[in-house]
Amino acid sequence: MSWIIARRRHPAAGYAAIAGLLVVVAVGYGALTGFGSGASASAPAQNATDIAQGRSLFLDNCSSCHGLEAQGTPQAPSLIGAGAAAVDFQMSTGRMPAKEQGPQNDRKPVTFTQQQIYDIAGYIASLAPGPQIPSASEVSTAGADAALGSQLFSTNCTQCHGFAGAGGALTYGKDAPPLTASTPTQIYEAMLTGPEAMPVFGDGTLTPSDKRDIIAYITQTRGETNPGGFSLGRTGPVTEGLVIWLGGLGFLVLIAMWITAKRRDTRVDLDES
């Protein structure tokens, strides 16, 4: 301890303390803004499905929670009528099969092939009609209107996913994930099936063409460069506030200390006598 006490009046001690503090804060901040990423498979048009194959995969991987006939259990909802789109969304984003019990199932690495996913989807679809997996042309953004999409996104999606799709908190530990990794098909399926806390946006609410506009907006926005410099996470003024306090003020205080450091005759130094 005494070496600190002896040196705390050293001319460089203040800088060292500030630098140390900045490092601590920077590390802390870095920890706050860790970004996840996920792999995504591009979805071809729905293949013919082998329902028997799908059923056996279902029994092996899903029935423990969803029941032997997909009728649901106290642990997990019934999948009868959930539709192929729900299965494709849940499995292609790695959410299903669910692992630990949390407030919500997050994106995980996918352990099934696309063919296996289609098989299970076909099996679930065979139980009762439900939302279909959209075709490639249904999710194509060619000719879509991103400007309209921005308006639709702003009125329907920003309250949960944030203005630039960076994600946001919901109540009870749930959150709307960032839309950085979702493929156009997954975006479409998410709107069709409304996973967990997300509402269902059926074709009556958002027409298929609206959905394509939204997909165009999301994919363009996440791909676009930030004309003003680093994006600061696209989470609005909170990170701007952190930057101005830590970066702006921190930088200027260091400069002020440097400007005033070479004192001519009023030096106070406990170590010199």
Partner 1 sequence: MSDDVHVPGALRGLGNWVDERFGGAGYVRTLMKKVFPDHWSFFLGEIALYSFVILLLTGTFLSLFFVPSMNDVVYHGSYIKLNGLRMSEAYASTLRISFDVRGGLLIRQIHHWAADIFMVAITVHMLRIFFTGAYRKPREVNWLIGIILFSLGLIEGLFGYSLPDDQLSGAGLRIFEGVLQGIPIVGTYLAYFLFGGGFPGNDIVPRMYIIHVLLIPGLILALVTAHLLIMFHQKHTAMPAKDQTDTHELGQPFFPYFIAKTTAWLFFVFAALAILATFAQINPIWQYGPYTPLAISSASQPDWYMGILEGALRMMPAWEINFLGHTLSLSVLIPFALPLGIILGGAAFWPWFEKWATGDNSEHHVLDRPRNAAVRTSIGIAVVVFYGVLWAEGANDVIANKLQIPLYTVTWISRVLVIVGPILAYFATKRICIGLQRKDAELLEHGLETGIIVQRPNGEFEEIHRPVSEEARAVLEAKKVPLALPVGAAAVDENGVSAPQARGLMGKMRVRANQAFLETIPLPAGDGHGHGNGHEGNGHGEVEGGGQEHAAVGASTAPAELDRLPDAQPQRPDPGAAGDESES
Q: Which of residues 23-82 bind partner 1 (CB under 8 A)?
A: 32-33
Rounded Cα distance between 190 and 253, Å, is 48
Rounded Cα distance between 177 and 33, Å, is 13
For partner 1, the binding residues in 2-21 under the rule CB under 8 A are 2
Site string for ligand HEC, 1-40 (x = CB under 6 A): ----------------------------------------
Binds ligand HEC by CB under 6 A, chosen from 25, 197, 243, 254: 197
Closer residue to partner 1 (CB): 92 or 150: 150
Find tokens 């199932």 and name the residue: 105
Please name which of 222, 138, 230, 231 lies closest in space to residue 181, comparing C-alpha atoms.
222
Smallest separation, CB 78 to partner 1 (Å): 28
What residue 244 binds from partner 1, ligand HEC, none (CB within 5 to 8 A, per partner kind)? partner 1
Backbone angles phi, psi at 169, to 5 degrees: -80, 145
C-beta of residue 88 within 8 angstroms of C-beta of residue 185: yes
Segment interacting with partner 1 (CB under 8 A) among 44-52, 88-96, 120-128, 149-157 = 149-157
For partner 1, the binding residues in 185-214 under the rule CB under 8 A are none
Reduced to 3 states (helix: H, G, I; strand: E, B; else coil), residue 149 is helix
How many chain residues touch partner 1 (CB under 8 A)? Answer: 72
Distance of CA 5 to the CA centre of its chain: 47
Rounded Cα distance between 117 and 44, Å, is 12
> Peptide bond before 97: cis, by omega within 30 degrees of 0?
yes
Which residue ranges make up the site for ligand HEC (CB under 6 A)?
61-62, 64-66, 75-77, 79, 82, 86-87, 90-91, 93, 95-98, 104-107, 120, 156-157, 159-161, 170, 174, 176-177, 179, 181-182, 186-187, 190-191, 193, 195-199, 201, 214
